[in-house]
Amino acid sequence: MKQLATDGAQVPGPAPIKTRRFSVSLVWIVPIVAVLVGISLVVHSMLQEGPTITVTFKTGDGLTANKTEVKYRNVVIGQVTDVELSNDQKSVNATVKLAKQAESFTRADSKFWVVRPRIGAGGVSGIDTLLSGDYIGADIGQANARAKNFKGLENPPPITYGEPGKRFTLHTQDLGSLDIGSPVYYRKIPVGQVVAYALDPDGKGVNIDLFVHAPNDQYVTENTRFWNASGVDVSVGANGFAVKTESLSALLVGGIAFRAPEFSPDDKPAAEEYTYELFEDQQTALAPPNGKPQYLALRFDQALRGLKVDAPVEFQGVEIGKVVGVNLDFDAQKRSFPVNVGIVIYPQRLGQAHQKMLKEMKHDPNDEAGGVRLIGSFIENGLRAQARTGNLLTGQLYIALDFYPKAEKVAFDASVRPVMIPTIPGSLEQLQEKLEAMVTKINQLPIERIASNLDSNLVELRKSLGQFNAKTLPGVHNTLLDVSKTLQTANSTLQSAHSTLADDSPQREKLDQTLNELGRTSRALRDLADYLGRHPESLIRGRPDNAAPIDLQGPPSK
């Protein structure tokens, strides 16, 4: 509002200020747009850039900076940007730049390994790297935690890419011919493989991890039995030789087979990481369960050449255990070297006999003191251990437990652990003792006196035979000749009388019979005289069985 003067005249105000607008020249538009585009590209690159991780390997074999790729399912997900030695110079650190979509591979349990040509139990792998070169394989983890440093695997994991299935653990005494990648068979069909193995914490066994692919993992139940199917199983029986093997692969690289017993009531699929025992063969695996083991000790005063660890232990012909130790001992009092034998038995293998024994004797298998008392009662009734020959060709021995009621009584000490079972000599040793006793008795016989008496008796017998041949036999021979002549004379007389009788008279018929009898008697006496002349010893020894029969009837007289 204009200010008015007192006199009504107009007073001039301050002069108006003119403002000037800022304007950009067209020359700067292009650089500004270029800067904006560059900034957007940088931001976009930063947003699309994946994480960087470090993988440690023992060696840098096959790793090249800015060349070696990282692949998952044969798709490139990153690249090695740097390869350098670790600070302690005991390994190699490979810096890997992953793609943005591979950010999930930073999970703490992700796995990385170098893919190169390999020949293993699972077959040949990595053949494509002969042309394309080595690369790093990757498998995504499942953990929620993230990590930037990873330890690379020296061998590819057998199970990758989240393969559906279950892992199980087997316990065995030693690994044998098994290895990572060894096949797992179900009814001779490969359904899985061995994925890992490690020693027990106490070093007394081996734990083997295997993986069974779905849907075949449903056949692994809580009652399933696993056995080592490696190599060839050769058995000899009544039907000849039998050779069994799972496959050629199992013969070369080993393998594991599994199956549940035919009678498995209330059986159900096993859970993940279920633990089993790995048996040596199918027969042992499918046999009834052993039950609680019982360790016993034996002491032999004889040599046990041929008795080895794992030799069978039998009770009345039924195998119930095995030998677990054979050790030589020293007896200072007797100055001898007895043999201590350790055995393990499984009473449950007796089957119905074991169940009936527990029922009748009201014995609790978990009562150790009661079990010792039970064994003591068996020993009082003659329970003894004996080493017997199991194979005459190889000389192998086995331990037999049996009852010998006439065995010498022994004192039983229930406080000794393991329980000591009395022993008796083996069958061969008993036979040897009998032979030695027989030889001793023969040596005690007066052989020389018996031989001299026998010789003198033979001399006397020879003299008696000489006198018989010189004196008695000729007289007997002459007597028989005289009797024969007398019979001939009587025969002639009777024939004369025969001619005077009528042909149809009864006297004539009786006379004919009498003449025939006299003729046969005469001939028999003549034959007997001739035979005694040829064989005079028959009067003492008798007529031999193989001598030709003497025809006492003789041919009819003419």
User: What is the pLDDT, as a whole number, of residue 1?
Assistant: 44
- Rounded distance, CA 290 to CA 46, Å? 66
Q: How far apart are the first and last CA of the chain?
A: 207
Q: Return the exposure string of 300-320: e unless at least 16 CB atoms fall within 10 Å of the residue's CB, then b.
A: beeebeebeeebbbbbeeeeb
Residue 440 has pLDDT above 80, yes or no: no
Dihedral angle sign, alpha carbons of residues 531, 537, 542, 548? negative
Q: Across residues 87-108, what is the average pLDDT?
A: 91
82, 95 in Cβ contact below 8 A? yes
Q: What is the spatial distance between Cα 9 and Cα 3, in angstroms, rounded to a whole number? A: 10
In a domain, 2, yes or no: no
In this structure, the number of other CB atoms found within 10 A of the CB of residue 2 comes to: 7
422 and 461 inside one domain: no
pLDDT surpassing 60 at residue 8 = no
Question: 172: closest CA among 138, 199, 152?
Answer: 199
156 occurs within a structural domain: no
Query: For 290-414, where are the E strands, in sequence order?
Result: 294-300, 312-315, 318-328, 339-345, 383-389, 397-403
Task: Give the chain's length.
Answer: 558
What are the structure tokens assigned to 71, written together? 């692949």
- With vertex at residue 346, the alpha carbon angle to CA 385 and CA 311, rounded to the nearest 5 degrees, is 55
Spatial CA neighbour of 163 closest among 124, 212, 118: 212
Residues 298 and 350 in one domain: yes
Distance between CA 10 and CA 332 in Å, rounded? 150
Least confident of 10-19, 63-72, 160-169, 459-468: 10-19
Most confident stretch, 57-61, 279-283, 451-455, 538-542: 57-61
Instruction: Give the model's pLDDT for residue 4.
Output: 45
The CA-based diameter of the chain, rounded to the nearest angstrom, is 239
Q: For residue 327, name the pLDDT band (cuts at 50, 70, 90).
A: very high
Last residue of a domain, one of 407, 440, 473: 440
Question: E-assigned strands of 410-557?
Answer: 419-421
CA of 407: how far to CAs of 111, 130, 303, 402, 404, in Å? 69, 77, 21, 11, 5
Total number of domains constituting the chain: 4
Q: What is the pLDDT of residue 362?
A: 75
Domain assignment present for residue 92? The answer is yes
Residue with tokens 């039983």: 412
- Tell me which residue of 222, 233, 229, 323 sits closest to 276, measured CA to CA: 222
Per-residue pLDDT, averaged over 413-429, amounts to 80
What the block records as the tokens of 350 is: 């007796």
Identify which of 482, 484, 557, 555 has the alpha carbon closest to the alpha carbon of residue 515.
557
**Do both 432 and 451 map to the same domain?**
no
**d(Cα 311, Cα 323) in Å, to the nearest integer?**
5
pLDDT (average), residues 435-448: 73
pLDDT for residue 171: 94
| 26 secondary structure, DSSP code | G
pLDDT of residue 5: 44
pLDDT at 191 over 70: yes
Sheet holding 318-328, edge to edge: 383-389, 397-403, 312-315, 318-328, 339-345, 294-300, 419-421
Within 13 Å, how many C-alpha atoms sit on residue 153's CB side?
A: 17
Residue 35 is assigned to a structural domain of this protein: yes
- On whether residue 12 sits in a domain, the answer given is no
Tens of pLDDT, residue by residue over 206-250, are: 999 999 999 999 999 999 999 998 755 555 443 444 555 555 555
> Quick one: which H or E segment has residue 517?
helix 506-534
At which of 418, 440, 462 does a domain end?
Answer: 440
153 touches 113 (CB < 8 A): yes
Quick one: average pLDDT of 385-392?
A: 83
Residue 379 parent element (H or E):
helix 368-380
- Taking residue 370's Cβ as centre, other Cβ atoms within 10 Å add up to 14
φ, ψ (nearest 5 deg) of residue 240: 105, -155
Which pLDDT score is estimated for 245? 57
What pLDDT digit, counting tens, does each position of 532-544 carry? 667 766 666 666 6
Supply 384's token pair. Answer: 């003894």
| Separation between Cα atoms, residue 35 and residue 48, nearest integer Å | 20
Residue 383 lies in domain = 294-440
Q: Are 132 and 68 in contact (CB under 8 A)?
A: no
What CA–CA distance (Å, rounded) separates 107 from 426?
A: 68
Q: Which residue has the higher pLDDT, 188 or 520?
A: 188
**How would residue 107 be classed by pLDDT, with cut points 50, 70 and 90?**
very high
Whether pTM exceeds 0.75? no
| 430 and 463 together in one domain | no
* Residue 376 belongs to some domain of the structure: yes
Taking residues 126-146, what's their average pLDDT? 82
What's the mean pLDDT in 14-32? Answer: 64
pLDDT at position 118 over 50: yes
CA 61 to chain centre: 43
Average pLDDT over the chain, rounded to whole? 79
**Average pLDDT for residues 417-431, to the nearest whole number?**
77
Q: Is the predicted pLDDT of residue 200 greater than 50, yes or no?
A: yes
Tell me, yes or no, whether 68 and 135 share the same domain: yes
Q: Are 83 and 63 in contact, with CB atoms under 8 Å apart?
A: yes
- Return the exposure string of 176-201: e unless at least 16 CB atoms fall within 10 Å of the residue's CB, then b: bebebbbbbbbeeebbbbbbebeeee
The answer to whether 267 touches 260, Cβ cutoff 8 Å, is yes
- 322 and 410 co-located in one domain: yes
Contact 186, 257 (CB under 8 A): yes
Bridge partners of 259, per DSSP, are 225
Torsion over CA: 34, 36, 38, 44 (sign): negative
Question: Looking at the structure, do residues 325 and 210 belong to the same domain, yes or no?
Answer: no
CA angle 79, 80, 83 (to 5 degrees): 175
Ramachandran region of residue 230, left (φ > 0), alpha (ψ -120 to 50) or beta?
Answer: beta
509 shares a domain with 479: yes
State whether 93 and 126 are in the same domain. Answer: yes
Summarize pLDDT for 499-509 with one digit per residue, the tens.
Answer: 665 555 666 56
558 pLDDT band, cuts 50/70/90, is very low
Cβ atoms within 10 Å of 257's Cβ, excluding its own: 24
Q: What is the pLDDT of residue 318?
A: 86
- Phi and psi dihedrals of 56, rounded to 5? -100, 125
Band of pLDDT at residue 347, cut at 50, 70 and 90: confident
Q: Within a 13 Å sphere around the CA of 278, how many CA atoms are in the beta-carbon half?
A: 25
Which of the pair, 387 or 493, is modelled with greater confidence? 387
Give yes or no: residues 109 and 184 share one domain.
Answer: no
The answer to the question of residue 354 being in a domain is yes
Domain co-membership, 340 together with 430: yes
Q: Which of 39-48, 154-163, 227-236 has the lowest mean pLDDT?
A: 227-236
| Separation between Cα atoms, residue 141 and residue 212, nearest integer Å | 20
Check residue 158 and give its pLDDT: 77
Is residue 419 domain-shared with residue 503, that is, in the same domain? no
Rounded-to-integer distance, Cα 397 and Cα 308, Å: 8
* Alpha carbon distances (Å) from 548 to 306, 534, 554: 59, 13, 14
Instruction: Report which of residues 196 and 514 the model is more confident about.
Output: 196
